[in-house]
Amino acid sequence: MQKNLLKPGWIFGLIAFLVLFWLPLVARPHQINLLTEIVIFSLYAVSYNLLLGFGGLLSFGHGMFLGLGAFTTGAMLQRIPGLPFFGAVFLGTLMATLIGLGVGCLLLRHKGSYYALLTLAFNALFYAIAIKWHTVTGGDDGLPIKRPGLHLGFVQLPMSDVTVFYYVTLIVIGCAVLFCWYFTKTAMGKTVLLLRENEERMQFIGYNPAVSRMILFTLTAFFAGLSGSFYALFFKFVGVDAIGIDMTTTALLMTFIGGTKNFFGPVLGAGFYITFQNFLSNITDRWPLFMGILFVLLVLFVPRGLSGLIQSLVDRIRRTKTE
């Protein structure tokens, strides 16, 4: 029974991966760019869902980690000449992780509405810093970035090429998403899941909920920072939008559109969100309004998101087959 359930999942995953590898061969450059953006935001949304879906923690401060990753990567590339590609990514991710650890330590006793508010306040704080600290972040003007080339010992990859950047992003971010998935299967991941279900009982058995929550928070900060680094390298520009509340909103929308109950829901959500946004912004300048209306309709009528919708469709087909 277990094997039967697993098999379609693996086949589906393999197909998805092959399709993602094959797509740049037939797509036009702007479509590849769109795809790169989807891949980057997939990790961002997946890391957010580790908090919201798996940890049951509603955070309004996820945008600050993407922003921290992006700003650190940008500022370091500007300040340190000859900084290699992965050096910049590493520094950006490290910064987000360290700040995540610090904020996580302050938050560890809280959950629920306090958690939401405190994360929002921290996000607002970092946003204010990004605007005020003009010498490093460029303030309102933002930070232009030169994307460095990638040296892999014997071969040098031209990162300015759209397709090459796509493949590098796909491999790095894809591995990170897979690691997130692996994390949910580990003992630590299960602990977080069970904490959401019954914290008192977990405490009774001898787990420390505060520490587990802090570890989870730091981990999600790490992944958001990684996606932030790639965000900066992808757009070759970091503005204050990257660290604002709207960036958190984006994570929330993507995750919720895709569905929080399924691990790969946020990936679906990110894909849908960016494609839909691209489609809408071609038609109208008011795309955020339609995004908001869609979001409210989803909350009202499809609270489990797209993946929940697909799941119930699959269930229905299965039921008719067995009957």
Partner 1 sequence: MNVVTIFILHGLVYAGLLFLVSSGLTLVFGMMNVLNFAHASFYMLAAYFSYSLLTWTGHFWLCLMVCPFLLFVIGAGIERLLLRRVHTLGHVHELLLTFGIAFIISEIVKWVWGTAPLPMEIKGFLDSNVNLLGFVYPTYRLFVLFCSVLIGLLMTFLLLKTRMGIVVRSAVDDSEMVNALGVNTPRVFMFVFALGAALSGFAGVISGPLLSTNTGMATSILVDAFVVIVIGGFGSLIGAVVASLMIGQLQSFGALLFPKFSLALIYLLMAIVLIVKPTGLFGEKK
The footprint of partner 1 (CB under 8 A) covers 58, 106, 109-110, 112-114, 116-118, 120-122, 124-125, 128-129, 132, 245, 249, 252, 256, 286, 288-289, 291-293, 295-296, 299-300, 303
| Residue 66 vs 252, nearer CB to partner 1 | 252
* Residue 269 in tokens: 């959500």
Residue burial 18-46, b: 16+ Cβ < 10 Å; e: rest: eebeeebeebeeeebbbbbbbbbbbbbbb
| Least distance from partner 1 to the Cβ atom of residue 80, Å | 26
| Least distance from partner 1 to the Cβ atom of residue 224, Å | 19
| Residue 144 vs 288, nearer CB to partner 1 | 288
| Residue 8 vs 112, nearer CB to partner 1 | 112
DSSP string, 266-306: HHHHHHHHHHHHHHHHHH-TTHHHHHHHHHHHHHHH-TTHH
| Least distance from partner 1 to the Cβ atom of residue 65, Å | 17
| Least distance from partner 1 to the Cβ atom of residue 261, Å | 12
Contact 282, 288 (CB under 8 A): no
| Residue 140 vs 161, nearer CB to partner 1 | 140
- Residue linked to tokens 């080339």: 149
Q: Which amino acid is at 263?
A: F
Q: What distances in angstroms separate CA 269 from CA 61, 125, 220, 254, 275, one per listed residue?
A: 19, 28, 18, 5, 10
| Residue 146 vs 286, nearer CB to partner 1 | 286
| Least distance from partner 1 to the Cβ atom of residue 216, Å | 17
